[in-house]
Structure 1
Amino acid sequence: MVVEALTEVVAPEGVKARLVATKTADITLPHAESTNGRVVPFQHPESSKVDFGAEVYGIDLNKLTDADFELISDALHEYKVLVFKEQPEMLRPQQQYLLTANFDPDETTGGFAHGADPFLTSYNEVNIYGIPSRPAIPCQPQVHILGRGEVPEGHYQFPPGFKVKGIDHRDFHLPPHIPQAEREQGASRFYQWHWDGALYNIPPPRVGCLLAVKTPKGPDVTVRWDDGTGTEMKIPPGSTAYIAGSRALEVQDEETKQILLHSRIEYAPHAFKWMSTARSARLGHIIETEGLELPREKLPPIDEKKICIYPMVWTNPKTGEKSLQVHGQGAVKLYLKSSPDGEETIIDDLKEVRNFMHKIMRPAISPENIYAHPHEEQDVVLWYNRALWHSITEFPESYGPRIMHQCNIAASDHPSC
């Protein structure tokens, strides 16, 4: 299947906005009778409650076949996170898109999971779209560069010295912030616990894919919860932290679990613009209720039919496993039921909504439930976005750049129970 995506973009000043047709590669994989792939489950410490993750050997993702993909798909739904080791060369953006797109062959737009990218800059007559913290790679615009620091010289048509803007909890989290001197000594935070998705109109991706191009070098950082509990956790710098939605459901008391199994969440339209003027809790799981969100009249036009209302618990289509999949920062309304035929209670007071989100999310955000993946250059990480929460973490700037290629594509369907 050949996909042609029409993407609305914001053009440079003085240039009329237009639709850009981005032709993607045929996502049909070459046929092979068998695969050399080998899946090795992670071995977690005895103190850990993490039960997911595996390494994959023997598959060259730049030469992916249908037999390879069949093994990968089965393994991803079982282990939720796969790390592809011993890649002969850096994964090409076109192949990263190919791997990701094959998880949803019914998706026909090939669109980025967060919608159209605005114009960012031009170099050598090539337009580059995105935002400073997430520029798109021109030859495959569904693949973005994330992280912090300068991209390698000659990197996929980017200008010399091009720098990716990193995250900074001081721009988003409620004060007090971590003092700069302590940050340089390795004090860190989880920036935002979430699953990838626009939360409005566009269905969230089935999978996410990260290629490590450059990784920070230095001692482990100490992630602080900074929520009054004194909880801390040492992790490798630049890690992506993951929590299984199945574990998040498991840690609930039985009464709460029954509510979660039968309830829904309504997410804010244009959620990330709406919350852009607000502040996150220091743990990165909910927004503080201070009345700082953008009012509706300052948001882009809203189509009520495009507002997303999702079940709180999603089911793995291959294993039947149930996962608590909630986005605490984007939630604006709850539809609570304790049984299939029970009476529904609607909660639309933001403070009450966030109190409930804190109640159900905080028990899972505990060191024994977190896997912090130590990215190694040239490794590829694939995760099942509909069964995991994840968060990026801060690290000292002196550790060097963190340059990652991420691909996530809007799905063909919205999540269901």
Structure 2
Amino acid sequence: MPAVVKDIRVEPLQHGPKSNVDFGATVHGIDLNNLTDSEFEIIHAALHKHKLLIFKGQPEMLRPQKQYELTRRFDPDEPTGGFAHGIDPLLTTHNGTSIYGLPNRPAIPAQPQVHILGRGALPENHYDFPPGFEIQGVDHHAFHLPPHIPAADREAGRSRFYQWHFDGALYGIPPPRVGCLLAVRTPRGPDVRVQWDDGTGTEMSMAPGATAMVSGARALSLLSPELRAIVYHSRIEYAPHCFEWMSTARSTRLGHSLETEGREKPLDQLKPWSRDKICVYPMVWENPVTGEHSLQVHGQAAYRLFLKDSPEGEETVVSDLGEVRAFLQKIMRPVLEPSNIYAHAHEEQDVILWYNRALWHSITEFPTSYGPRIMHQCNIAASDHPVAAAVLS
């Protein structure tokens, strides 16, 4: 019998005349549960080119084992294949099955590198979880500087970005190359109105439960020549166990940095850490396939800066957290405008892949009356730490 020729199409997203977004593509004709080597080669090339891929028309829900296999293919040299944030604690047991993770991020027992994110009740008989198990979603009331959005306004569709970031533990473990997200359940309701709440009056409408994304390349291009020279030659040090360190602090209302209030957990009160595992990364990373450069910084986890404006320039160490965050405001805030943001409206059974070393993303809040948002996420520790991009002439 003749071989079946599949109609595989990679179609760049059309963002409209008022948008500056230049990333993203939709992939048709690939069944991720039955992925072939030749199909993965198409995906690998397309992801590095478009940085975000959306897989439509999947015949069935992507299985956790296949989601893990897909994600790990991007970094076959990683020796452990482990979760990018390290070892999960025991969360609960059910019918003799141990479930690891956190209340807002439990791991699927059959494939513990795949975690369940979102908010609300899981479907019945969902991968060995107890009946009625609910994902405890994150809430800006618990993390952002007040004033918060009042409950009535939130239920009426007012929203915020929770945290602009790239995925990674930022301590000891290299950040993933890619992220993979499957939509199991999505909220149903009108668009929400996301508020910046930073004094600018900026707002943006998007689908409820959308994942917002911006390009690090776009962020880099928006900097002045002077700032661009600095970020190309500078490094950023992240706090040890940075998520524990920031757990007692409060985020800016825009979700891109922390407020400087002296509320961070003291380093000597963190769980044991060692200096050799602290991550000090360049601010500009290079796409190994396309050569594109991206500004990749995690504003909330930043602890110290090492600033230079040329290879031979004198290095300035910035240890004052207020000054660290003032610099990050200068380099992060310009790209955080509606015209630069793509808000992905998840549809059930669709899968998205993104190049974690070139995009920033944030979840967005939505009214509880819209129902649950249940997502399966897989990101795996990389085999390498980011290295500085070569300075463009």
Q: TM-score by structure 1 length?
A: 0.92
What is the CA–CA distance in structure 1 between the aligned matches of 2:241 and 2:316, rounded to whole Å?
25
User: Whose RCO is larger (CA < 8 A, sep 6+)?
Assistant: 2
Aligned to 2:391: none
Give the one of 226, 230, 235 matched to 2:201.
Answer: 230
Could you tell me how far 1:34 is from its partner in structure 2?
Answer: 7.9
Question: How do 1:200-349 and structure 2 match up within 5 A?
Answer: 200-349=171-320
Could you tell me how far 1:351 is from its partner in structure 2?
Answer: 0.5
Aligned to 1:106: 77
What is the CA–CA distance in structure 1 between the aligned matches of 2:37 and 2:152, rounded to whole Å?
51
Give the one of 1, 18, 23 matched to 1:47.
Answer: 18
Question: Using a 3 Å threshold, how does the CA distance of structure 1 residues 156 and 308 change in structure 2: closer, same or farther?
Answer: same
Matched to 2:165, the amino acid is H
Aligned to 2:383: 412
Give the one of 350, 360, 372 matched to 2:343.
Answer: 372
What is the CA–CA distance in structure 2 between the aligned matches of 1:107 and 1:214, rounded to whole Å?
31
Task: Report Cα offsets for 1:154-198 as digits up to 9, x if no partner.
Answer: 000001000000111000000000000000000000000000000
Preserved contact between residue 35 and residue 68 of structure 1 (Cα < 8 Å): no
Preserved contact between residue 33 and residue 67 of structure 1 (Cα < 8 Å): no
What SS class does the counterpart of residue 197 from structure 1 fall into?
Answer: coil
Task: Report Cα offsets for 1:32-56 as digits up to 9, x if no partner.
Answer: 9986421000001100000000000
What is the CA–CA distance in structure 2 between the aligned matches of 1:161 and 1:301, rounded to whole Å?
36
Please state if 1:129 is matched with 2:100: yes
Task: Report Cα offsets for 1:255-275 as digits up to 9, x if no partner.
Answer: 101111111100000000000
What is the CA–CA distance in structure 1 between the aligned matches of 2:237 and 2:185, rounded to whole Å?
38
Matched to 1:315, the amino acid is E
What SS class does the counterpart of residue 335 from structure 2 fall into?
Answer: coil
Give the one of 338, 356, 359 matched to 1:388.
Answer: 359
Aligned to 1:353: 324
Task: Report Cα offsets for 1:309-341 as digits up to 9, x if no partner.
Answer: 000000000000000000000111111111122
What is the CA–CA distance in structure 2 between the aligned matches of 1:281 and 1:226, rounded to whole Å?
9
Matched to 1:203, the amino acid is P
Aligned to 1:13: none
Could you tell me how far 1:110 is from its partner in structure 2?
Answer: 1.1
Matched to 2:184, the amino acid is V
Matched to 2:211, the amino acid is T
Aligned to 2:122: 151
Preserved contact between residue 266 and residue 307 of structure 1 (Cα < 8 Å): yes
Could you tell me how far 1:354 is from its partner in structure 2?
Answer: 0.5
Aligned to 1:173: 144
What is the CA–CA distance in structure 2 between the aligned matches of 1:173 and 1:46, rounded to whole Å?
33
Q: TM-score by structure 2 length?
A: 0.97
What is the CA–CA distance in structure 2 between the aligned matches of 1:277 and 1:344, rounded to whole Å?
31
Aligned to 1:195: 166
What is the CA–CA distance in structure 1 between the aligned matches of 2:237 and 2:7, rounded to whole Å?
44
Task: Report Cα offsets for 1:220-268 as digits up to 9, x if no partner.
Answer: 0000000000000000000000000000001111110111111110000
Preserved contact between residue 34 and residue 67 of structure 1 (Cα < 8 Å): no
Please state if 1:162 is matched with 2:133: yes
* Structure 1 gap ranges (5+): 1-31
Question: Using a 3 Å threshold, how does the CA distance of structure 1 residues 34 and 308 change in structure 2: closer, same or farther?
Answer: farther
Aligned to 2:48: 77
What is the CA–CA distance in structure 2 between the aligned matches of 1:153 and 1:200, rounded to whole Å?
36
Please state if 1:61 is matched with 2:61: no
Aligned to 2:111: 140
Percentage identity across aligned positions? 69
Could you tell me how far 1:301 is from its partner in structure 2?
Answer: 1.3
What SS class does the counterpart of residue 355 from structure 1 fall into?
Answer: helix
